[in-house]
Each structure stands twice: as structure tokens, then as C-alpha cells.
């Protein structure tokens, strides 16, 4: 195999100094985490780029496949290596340019000659290699300013390094470089997308799910676990807190007028979430709310729901259309899971005519007759926590049967 | 007891029975139910299905579970022609098929279908030339057994498939009940059979379980109508325990098939030689080129039944040519087709090997058989 390493260019790097070092260290840790299955990787970091050494073809394939999902990478390139000999260089240049042979394009050769003892000067290498590529590829022409492809040759102490292809990364910032938040994960289409967008901005997530058996089934919980697991592929572990919510939900139904059930339910969820957030030391709460999508997502409803906490509530989808959200969900691979038809906690007990413009005072008044605090404490205390990605696959239930 | 009647049925493997019991205990829910237990049973069923699809080299969606070989065969014989009436009403099969094929095509004959029966030679094998000659534009189905259940003749399935696919639009069904797990049989991309029938109880799984599998999407009409299980092609609650058991048995049957085959072949050759030693008294129906696990022969001027009883008294279980037809008085259609001398027609018996047989069983059989021959015929193995 000609590929010897992958060169990674960092994403948005407006930060400087110590923050920059954190950014780079974080990215390296996330890459190691993403590729634990092909570990150990040798990663060399520099100020403005990172090199991953490639040992074998399997490693190369896994890297090429998964690197585009890791946040904090602007772009990356597979780098080929050959010995320090002009014929070998010519040969390698042709192999690399082979991938572009279907199209008309412009190119130039860029040389970085850090081994000053190499017999050929930079411009000589440029001329020799450039001419050789042109002779063998009638579809390619030279353009010095803004060529389609830049064939980059580096003459280093140990060997010649060459690359041409630039693959787009996921952009954004390394997960974890912007603190931690708690994602309210319902199992629908929106919340995983909201989580994804925050992760893209470097936020580490934990997730919370409200589980109301028997009104919601194990299948719906299973679905949420799958979604949480899906999100881990963007470069971080996720813990999922599953809250036993039946008791609270049933009580709400008994105690508040039916058109307020939905608002109160949301407020209770928010109060539970806030408690969990505090315990795990997260700074914000992330939701998949999008303005006007359903009754609970009007500005009036959001105000009433928000009223129970001062914690910043991050709503990355607030101005997104449903179709835009679906697009992202399909892209990140959560859509198919999300649309599985299981009841979730938001769709049970929904009254025919929920209030779209609840008033905070009134909701407070209705709730004032019931002591919810203790139930909330209990729900938080009795939560179950799952860690993703699952470290040891659960034992095969069907083992031995087949 | 030495059981040498494995082509009639086999003793289930211990591990297959364990699977059957465990699935009945733990995953008894209806796989079509939406509750957790149903979903689980369905997941297990899918696993069984994909295991069989792997073994047969086809896709999961083309593997259906049935109640046995007869159902699978009937399904193919009735389902394919009735879905393809626009192509014609001509069917080709052979004169030595199992009753579940012959009776089915006879029933279609009553309905106005035209059936051609291919003849077999003294080895029980069809002529590919005759097959090619009989194929017509309006042939919709060719059905052929891979290994004959009464005397072990192997039909040239691959060559037949090529001839059928090149010269007609017919679907090619292979009754692999006697061959699956004994000889290599699988689908492949561009040749070979289109439909395969398999029976569970011939491969040490349970009675009442079978498989019909397709090479590709089939134009076929279901035999059983109802709840639309198995993609609408085979209604009736899927018997998950049977399905899982047959999947396991199929794995066990195919995983060291060659090794067991070699052993059967050794016994087969040994016995052919041994029986030849009786000279005129014995006529061999099976040949060296037949399937290694079936050996049938006939004793001159003797009823098969008498031989069976005599051997049974000494602890050896064999059968007349086919268990299904052995209670009927008339001579088997296979024996008739082979055109053997009338002195030998009544005395056909069949030995068939299975996974539990050992070299000792064969040795014991030879000893006992020699005694029986001496007693019944005063013959000696020369």
C-alpha cells in the first residue's frame, strides 16, 4: 500500500494560546476514542495539523470511512510515501493522479523541501514531476493560481511524502472543548438532531429520557438507547439517564385541567432534567424544540416551561423547518430509528385541545395544590443510567440455540 | 438396536432437541405479535432464517418455513404452474419422484395440465437428452428429485438446470429432501435450481418441519391462505421452535458433511462388495455412483417384509424401498421404473445411514445378514 499517513487540518481555530492546545489535545483524544477498535494509533500533533500513521490497509479503510464524522476536522488527506529517488517520485505522482483521470482539470505541483541535502532544488522537482504528470495525463493542464488539484510533495529527512486529495471533514469543534450539557432525548426525529448540532459545536452530551411504562414500551426505550448510541459515533461517550416518569405523569393527569396537562408535564420534565443536570455538573439543557411545530413549542408555551429554571436552555432547532431537520436526521443516520412507531412519553395523555398560549400564573396556580417536589426527587433518585457506546455487547440471548 | 432406516426418518440430535425445548420454554410468543416477547421471537426466527439463507446461498427473504417435505413439494408443484398459466400448462418430472410430487402432478393432470415423465436407466438416472427433447415453449415447471429415496440415484441437477434455463422459461424445482446435508446443494447466481425443498426430520431435526427456498423472487401462489405470514406465501403462525431447530440441524448437517460422506462411502462400497458375494441371490439396485447414504438391494424370490422381520428380530432396523409406500402391497413405482427381473421385485430392502451410525453397526449388519440368509435361503456368502 502506498498510503503511509493521513494528514488532518484543524477546524475553526480562532482560539489561541492555551485554548488552542486544549483544542488539539481534545481532538486527538476524540480521534483515539473513535478508533479504539483499530488502536493504538500513532498521532503526531503540530501547531496547525496532525498526522496519523497508517500501519495497514484495514486501518486505512476504517480511517477514511469514519474520519468525516469527527468534529474539529476541517479536511484531511491521505499521504503516500516513496523513497528519495526521482524515478520513484515520478511513479508515485502518476499513481496518485490516477484517481482524477476521468475529468478535465488543472493542477500544480507544490514542493516543500525540508531536507536541504536533497540533490534537486524545489523548482527542479516541480518541473520534473509536473512535466511527467502532464505527459501521461492529457486531461490535466497546469494552472498556478487556484488549480483544481494541488499535488503536494514534501522532501523530509526519511522519505518523500506526497498527497493530492483533500477530503472535507465534519467541521465544527472537537466534542468536549465547549463543556457539557444535558440533552432531552425523546426518541423523535428532532432531539437527536439537536444533540448532533450541539456536539458539532464542541459540547459534550449526556442524555435524559422520560420512561412511562406501561404507557410506553420497552421498544421505545430500546429506540432511545439506539439513538444515544448513534450519537456516540460523533466522537464521545454518552451517558443516558432514564427517568421513571409514570408516577408523575399519572398524578399530573389527575390534578391539573386537561388543557394544561401538556404544559405541566413539560415543566415537570424540565424540573427533573434540571436536577439531573446539577448532579452531573452540566451547564445547559438541550432540547429539540422548533418554534410553532406543536402546541408546546409556541413562544408562550416555551415561556411557561422555561419558567421553572434559570439554566440556559439550548434550542438549536428553534428556527429550523421540519424538512430541514429531517434532512440532517437522514444525514447523521438517526432518521430511520426515530420514525419507528412506538409511543413516546410526549404523545400519551395529550388532550384534544392543549393550550397553545398558557399563562405562567395560571399554570403555577394549578400546580400549587400538588406537592411535586418529593416525586421529582424520587424520580431523579431512581433513574437508571446507561453508558454508550456499550462496552461489552450484551450476551447473545440466543446463544447456543442456533 | 441398530437403526439403518435414516431415509425414512432420523433420530433428532440431542442439541437440536435441547434447542427445541429451550425455544418452547423461553421464546414461545407469536413472532407476529408486537409485544416484547413477540419481537424477541421474531428476532430469533430471523436469525434462523438467515442461517439457512447462508447455507443455501440465497437471501433471507427467499427462505420460508413449512410443515415438511410434502408441503414444500406440494407448494412448488401447485404454486408455480398456477402463477404462470400465461406461459403454459406443461410440466416435466421423472417417473421415480416421491409421492408428494407424483400425486400432486396427477392432480394437476386432472385439471388439464399436461405432464411428461422422464424415464430413468438401470442406474435410476434420467437422460439429459430426453429432458432437452421434452422441454417446450409452454413448459412452466420441471421438478426433479436430487437423490432418489428408494435407491439413492443422483440426478445431474446442475446440467439439467443449465438445459432447462437455456431452452425454456420453466422454473426448476429440486426435491432435495434426501440430499440436503448429504450432498452439496445450493443456489448460485446464474445456474442451478430455482426452488429447493428440504425436510427437517431427515437431517436429525423434528418431524413437522421443512423449508422451501427460492433462488430469486418467485412467481408462486401460496398453498395456505390466512394471516399472511412468511410474506403472504405461507400463512399460519410460524413454528419458531421448529424453525430454529431445523436451522441448527442444517448447520450440523452441512458443517462436516464431506467427512461424514467419506465414511458413508466407505461403508457403501464395503457393503456393495459384501452383497455381491451372494451372487445370484442378490440383485443390487444401488450403484457405486449413487448417494453414499442409501443402499438398496433385492433378495431373489423373497418378500422384503420377511427379511425385515428376520433382521428386526436380531436388532437391526431396515425398511423396504420406501417407508411411505411399504404398507401398500403393490410394487414400488421406482422398482418398476428400474425394470428389474420379476424374481427380484418383491424382495427389495433399503439400508440408509445417519449421523448416529458407526463402523460397528455395519460390521454387525454383515454378520447378522449372513446368518439370516443362511436361515432363510440356506445360502452362504461365497
The string of DSSP codes covering A95-163 is HHHGGGTTS-EEEEEEEEE--TTSSS-HHHHHHHHHHHHHHH-TTEEE-SSS-SEEEEEEE-SS-EEEE
Q: pTM of the prediction?
A: 0.63
Give the distance from CA B196 to its chain's centroid: 10
What does the pLDDT look like over B54-91, one tens digit per residue?
999 998 899 999 999 999 999 999 999 999 999 999 99
Chain B neighbors of A400, CB-CB under 8 A:
19
- The complex scores an ipTM of 0.78
Query: pLDDT tens track of chain A, all 402 residues?
Result: 889 999 999 877 655 667 788 888 888 888 887 887 776 788 888 888 899 999 888 889 989 988 998 898 999 999 999 999 999 999 999 999 988 887 888 999 999 998 888 999 999 999 999 999 999 988 888 888 889 899 999 998 888 999 998 899 988 999 888 889 999 999 899 999 999 999 999 999 999 999 998 888 888 898 999 999 999 888 778 999 999 999 999 999 899 998 889 899 999 999 999 999 999 999 999 999 999 888 778 999 999 999 999 999 999 999 999 999 999 999 999 998 888 877 665 566 777 778 888 888 998 989 988 899 999 999 999 999 999 887 655 567 888 898
Angle, helices A373-381/A246-255, rounded to nearest 10 degrees: 160
**Please, which residues bridge with residue B90 across strands?**
B114, B139
Which of A145, A7, A164, A154 shows the shortest CA–CA distance to A97?
Answer: A164
Separation in Å, CA B210 to CA A239, B180, B249? 46, 12, 11
Chain A neighbors of B29, CB-CB under 8 A:
none
Separation in Å, CA B374 to CA A355, B15, B296, B371? 99, 41, 20, 5
Which pLDDT score is estimated for A218? 84
Considering Cα of B57, then B62, then B207, then B94, what sign does the dihedral take?
negative
Kindly give, in sequence order, each residue whose CB lies less than 8 Å from that of residue B37, ignoring residues fewer than 6 positions away. B27, B28, B29
Which DSSP string corresponds to A12-24? Answer: -----HHHHHHHH
Please answer whether residues A93 and A129 qualify as being in contact, where contact means their C-beta atoms are separated by less than 8 angstroms. Answer: yes
User: What is the enclosing helix (H) or strand (E) of A183?
Assistant: strand A180-184
Chain B neighbors of A218, CB-CB under 8 A:
36
With an 8 Å Cβ cutoff, are A397 and B40 in contact? yes
Residue B299 cell numbers, joined: 433378495
Chain A and chain B share a number of CB contacts under 8 A equal to 24
Instruction: Using DSSP bridges, classify how beta strands A384-388 and B171-175 pair: parallel, antiparallel or unpaired.
Output: unpaired
Residue B97 cell numbers, joined: 419422484
Which of B47, B57, B18 shows the shortest CA–CA distance to B243?
Answer: B47
With an 8 Å Cβ cutoff, are A401 and B244 in contact? yes
Q: Which residue of B has its CA nearest to A222?
A: B36
Residue B347 cell numbers, joined: 424382495
Which pLDDT score is estimated for B316? 96
Q: How far apart are CA A274 and CA A311, in angstroms?
A: 7
- Give the dihedral of Cα atoms A94, A98, A100, A105; nearest 10 deg: 30
**Please, which residues bridge with residue B78 across strands?**
none
Per-residue buried b or exposed e for A254-293, using 16+ beta carbons within 10 Å of the residue's own CB: eebeeebbbbbbbbbbbbbbbbbbeeeebebbbbbbbeeb
Separation in Å, CA B137 to CA A130, B129, B317? 64, 17, 47
Kindly give, in sequence order, each residue whose CB lies less than 8 Å from that of residue A399, ignoring residues fewer than 6 positions away. none
Query: CA of B247 to nearest chain A CA: how many angstroms apart?
Result: 6
pLDDT at B324 > cutoff 60: no
Which pLDDT score is estimated for B379? 58
Which pLDDT score is estimated for B213? 96
With an 8 Å Cβ cutoff, are A400 and B19 in contact? yes
Query: 3-class DSSP state for residue A262?
Result: helix
A397 touches chain B (CB under 8 A): yes
Which pLDDT score is estimated for A347? 61
Per-residue buried b or exposed e for A14-33, using 16+ beta carbons within 10 Å of the residue's own CB: eeeeeeeeebbebbbbbbeb
What does the pLDDT look like over B287-309, one tens digit per residue?
999 999 999 999 998 888 899 99
Amino acid at each position: 500500500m502506498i498510503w503511509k499517513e493521513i494528514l488532518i487540518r484543524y477546524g475553526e481555530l480562532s482560539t489561541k494560546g492555551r485554548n488552542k492546545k486544549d483544542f488539539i489535545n481534545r481532538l486527538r483524544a476524540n480521534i483515539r476514542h473513535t478508533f479504539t477498535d483499530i488502536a493504538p494509533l500513532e498521532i503526531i500533533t503540530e501547531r496547525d495539523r496532525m498526522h496519523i500513521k497508517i500501519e495497514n490497509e484495514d486501518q486505512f479503510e476504517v480511517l477514511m470511512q469514519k474520519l468525516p464524522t469527527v468534529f474539529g476536522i476541517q479536511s484531511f488527506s491521505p499521504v503516500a510515501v516513496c523513497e528519495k529517488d526521482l524515478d520513484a517520485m515520478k511513479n508515485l505522482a502518476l499513481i496518485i493522479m490516477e484517481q482524477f483521470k476521468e475529468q478535465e482539470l488543472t493542477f500544480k505541483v507544490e514542493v516543500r523541501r525540508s531536507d536541504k541535502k536533497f540533490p534537486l532544488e524545489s523548482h527542479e522537482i516541480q518541473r520534473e514531476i509536473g512535466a511527467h504528470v502532464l505527459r501521461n495525463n492529457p486531461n490535466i493542464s497546469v494552472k498556478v493560481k487556484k488549480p483544481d488539484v494541488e499535488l503536494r510533495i514534501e522532501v523530509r529527512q526519511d522519505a518523500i511524502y506526497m498527497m493530492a486529495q483533500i477530503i472535507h471533514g465534519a467541521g465544527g469543534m472537537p466534542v468536549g472543548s465547549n463543556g457539557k450539557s444535558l440533552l432531552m432525548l425523546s426518541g423523535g426525529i428532532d432531539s437527536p438532531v439537536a444533540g448532533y448540532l450541539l456536539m458539532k459545536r464542541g459540547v459534550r452530551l449526556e442524555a435524559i429520557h422520560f420512561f412511562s411504562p406501561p404507557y410506553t414500551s420497552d421498544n421505545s426505550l430500546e429506540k432511545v438507547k439506539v439513538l444515544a448510541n448513534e450519537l456516540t459515533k460523533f466522537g464521545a461517550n454518552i451517558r443516558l439517564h432514564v427517568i421513571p416518569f409514570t408516577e408523575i405523569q399519572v398524578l399530573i393527569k389527575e390534578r391539573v385541567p386537561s388543557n394544561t396537562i401538556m404544559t405541566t408535564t413539560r415543566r415537570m420534565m424540565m424540573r427533573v432534567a434540571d436536577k439531573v443536570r446539577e448532579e452531573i455538573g452540566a451547564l445547559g439543557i438541550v432540547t429539540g424544540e422548533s418554534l410553532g411545530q406543536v402546541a408546546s413549542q409556541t413562544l408562550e408555551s416555551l415561556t411557561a416551561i422555561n419558567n421553572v429554571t434559570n439554566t440556559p436552555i439550548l434550542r438549536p432547532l428553534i428556527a429550523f423547518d421540519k424538512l430541514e431537520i429531517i434532512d440532517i436526521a437522514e444525514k447523521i443516520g438517526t432518521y430511520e430509528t426515530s420514525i419507528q412507531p412506538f409511543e413516546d412519553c410526549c404523545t400519551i395523555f395529550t388532550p384534544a385541545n392543549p393550550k397553545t398560549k398558557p399563562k405562567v400564573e395560571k399554570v403555577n396556580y394549578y400546580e400549587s395544590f400538588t406537592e411535586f417536589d418529593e416525586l421529582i426527587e424520587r424520580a431523579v433518585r431512581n433513574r437508571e443510567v446507561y453508558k454508550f457506546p456499550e462496552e461489552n455487547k450484551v450476551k447473545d440471548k440466543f446463544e447456543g440455540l442456533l | 438396536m441398530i437403526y439403518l432406516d435414516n431415509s425414512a426418518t432420523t433420530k433428532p440430535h440431542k442439541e437440536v432437541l435441547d434447542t427445541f425445548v429451550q425455544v418452547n420454554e423461553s421464546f414461545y410468543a407469536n413472532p407476529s405479535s408486537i409485544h416484547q416477547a413477540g419481537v424477541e421471537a421474531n428476532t430469533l426466527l430471523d436469525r434462523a432464517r438467515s442461517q439457512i439463507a447462508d447455507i443455501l446461498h440465497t437471501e433471507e427473504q427467499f427462505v420460508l418455513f413449512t410443515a415438511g417435505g410434502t408441503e414444500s413439494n406440494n407448494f412448488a408443484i401447485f404454486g408455480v404452474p398456477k402463477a404462470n398459466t400465461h406461459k403454459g400448462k406443461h410440466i416435466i418430472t421423472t417417473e421415480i419422484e416421491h409421492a408428494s410430487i407424483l400425486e400432486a402432478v396427477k392432480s394437476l393432470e386432472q385439471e388439464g395440465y399436461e405432464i411428461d415423465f422422464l424415464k430413468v436407466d438401470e442406474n435410476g438416472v434420467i437422460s439429459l437428452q430426453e429432458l432437452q427433447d421434452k422441454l417446450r415453449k409452454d413448459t412452466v415447471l420441471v421438478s426433479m428429485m436430487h437423490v432418489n429415496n428408494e435407491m439413492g440415484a443422483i440426478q445431474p441437477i446442475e446440467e439439467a438446470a443449465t438445459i432447462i434455463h437455456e431452452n425454456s422459461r420453466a422454473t426448476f424445482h429440486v426435491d432435495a429432501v434426501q440430499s440436503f446435508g448429504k450432498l452439496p446443494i445450493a443456489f448460485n447466481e446464474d445456474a442451478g435450481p430455482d426452488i429447493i425443498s428440504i425436510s427437517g426430520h431427515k437431517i436429525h431435526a423434528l418431524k413437522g418441519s421443512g423449508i422451501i427456498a427460492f433462488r430469486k423472487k418467485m412467481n408462486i401462489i401460496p398453498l395456505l391462505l390466512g394471516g399472511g405470514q412468511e410474506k403472504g406465501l405461507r400463512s399460519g403462525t410460524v413454528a419458531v421452535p421448529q424453525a430454529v431447530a431445523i436451522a441448527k440441524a442444517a448447520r450440523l448437517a452441512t458443517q462436516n458433511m464431506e467427512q461424514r460422506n467419506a465414511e458413508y462411502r466407505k461403508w457403501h462400497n464395503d457393503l456393495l462388495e459384501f452383497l455381491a458375494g451372494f451372487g445370484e441371490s442378490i440383485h443390487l439396485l444401488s450403484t457405486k455412483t449413487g448417494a453414499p447414504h442409501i443402499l438398496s438391494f433385492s433378495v431373489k424370490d423373497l418378500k422384503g417384509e420377511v427379511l425385515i422381520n428376520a433382521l428386526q428380530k436380531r436388532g437391526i432396523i431396515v425398511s423396504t424401498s420406501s417407508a411411505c409406500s411399504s404398507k401398500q402391497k403393490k410394487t414400488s413405482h421406482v422398482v418398476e421404473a428400474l425394470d428389474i427381473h420379476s424374481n427380484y421385485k418383491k424382495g427389495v430392502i433399503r439400508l440408509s445411514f445417519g449421523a448416529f451410525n458407526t463402523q460397528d453397526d455395519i460390521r454387525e449388519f454383515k454378520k447378522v445378514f449372513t446368518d439370516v440368509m443362511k436361515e432363510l435361503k440356506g445360502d452362504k456368502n461365497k
